[in-house]
Amino acid sequence: MDELIKVNYDNERPTASARDLWEFLEVKTAFKDWFPRMCEYGFTETIDFNPLKFEQVQNEGHREVKRIVTDYQLTVPMAKEISMIQRNDKGKEARQYFIKIEEAWNNPEMVMARALKLADTKIKRLEFQIEEQKPLVEFAAHVTDSADAIDIGELAKLANKENIKIGRNRLFEYLRDNKILMQNNEPYQRYIENKWFKTIETTKQTSYGTKLFVKTLVLGKGQVGIIEMLRKEFGIVNE
């Protein structure tokens, strides 16, 4: 089938340019007046058509002038109806053309081909997500089920092994800024309940006698969660 008017198949439904159709139909009315008049036949934006703007360069004398041109991507049913409205040979020719486009698009073989293409796209997207998450999954496999709890300094060292350059003090600051730790460096209760942290009481001898301190330890689940946050914060690209 000869291509009378270019049809775009990149979207969920095939579409055609309103300007291309206007030119093919040899409409005498200016496009800016003609298209709004066509829309009065009951067509709805986002359902039957979508606006499209592009830059057009024209030579005027010895200089190039850039203009923003408005076009519309029409669904094939809308393009077909507009063609029919013209009531002339060009309109009839365009209408028959779009009917054939519709028939080809709805052909069972074409429907199956699109379904297979969509399935292939979804599989590739899942494969990409799996590959993207692979380093985190491998990291999680080592620590999630571990009973070992580490302090913030050890977590900073662990982050550095994952190519996240952060020190103990900066990590404390990051966790406070993100409302994971309170200003006294103890975790908020919800993170304790979610098994990210546990706290232990320790004593320390000072010149004023024995003092009681609360130490924050990071559990396996918390290690995974914080490392994932740091990856996003530092823009770490998984290879």
Q: Tell me the residue range of the domain where 77 lies.
A: 7-106
Domain boundary among 51, 78, 106: 106
pLDDT in tens, 74-88: 999 999 999 999 888
pLDDT at 106 over 90: no
DSSP string, 164-201: ----HHHHHHHHHHTTSB-TTSPBPHHHHHTTSEEEEE
Residue 31: pLDDT band with limits 50, 70, 90: very high
Q: What is the pTM of this model?
A: 0.47
Please provide the size of the chain in residues.
239
Residue 146: pLDDT band with limits 50, 70, 90: very low
Of the chain, the percentage scoring pLDDT greater than 70 comes to 78
Least confident stretch, 26-35, 74-83, 161-170, 197-206 = 197-206
Residue 201: pLDDT band with limits 50, 70, 90: confident
Q: Is residue 135 part of a domain?
A: no
Q: Is residue 116 part of a domain?
A: no
Residues 80 and 165 grouped into a single domain: no
The pLDDT, as a whole number, for residue 144 is: 47
Residues 100 and 15 grouped into a single domain: yes
Q: Is residue 85 part of a domain?
A: yes
Q: Is residue 165 part of a domain?
A: yes
Domain boundary among 55, 88, 106: 106
Structure tokens at 113: 């081909």
| Stretch 151-155: mean pLDDT | 91
pLDDT at 239 over 50: no
User: CB 71: neighbour CB atoms within 10 A?
Assistant: 19
Q: Is residue 118 part of a domain?
A: no
Residues 11 and 95 grouped into a single domain: yes
Higher pLDDT, 138 or 232: 232
Residues 13 and 102 grouped into a single domain: yes
Phi/psi at 152 (5° precision): -65, -35
| Stretch 104-116: mean pLDDT | 69
| Stretch 180-189: mean pLDDT | 93
Domain count, the chain: 2
| C-alpha to C-alpha distances, 210 to 184, 186, 199, nearest whole angstrom | 19, 20, 19
Residue 32: pLDDT band with limits 50, 70, 90: very high
Q: How much is the mean pLDDT over the chain?
A: 83
Structure tokens at 123: 């599989």
Q: Is residue 40 part of a domain?
A: yes
The pLDDT, as a whole number, for residue 108 is: 74
Higher pLDDT, 194 or 121: 194
Structure tokens at 103: 């028939």
Higher pLDDT, 238 or 115: 115
Residues 92 and 154 grouped into a single domain: no
pLDDT at 164 over 60: yes
Residue 145: pLDDT band with limits 50, 70, 90: very low
The pLDDT, as a whole number, for residue 110 is: 65
Domain boundary among 106, 128, 161: 106
Residues 85 and 172 grouped into a single domain: no
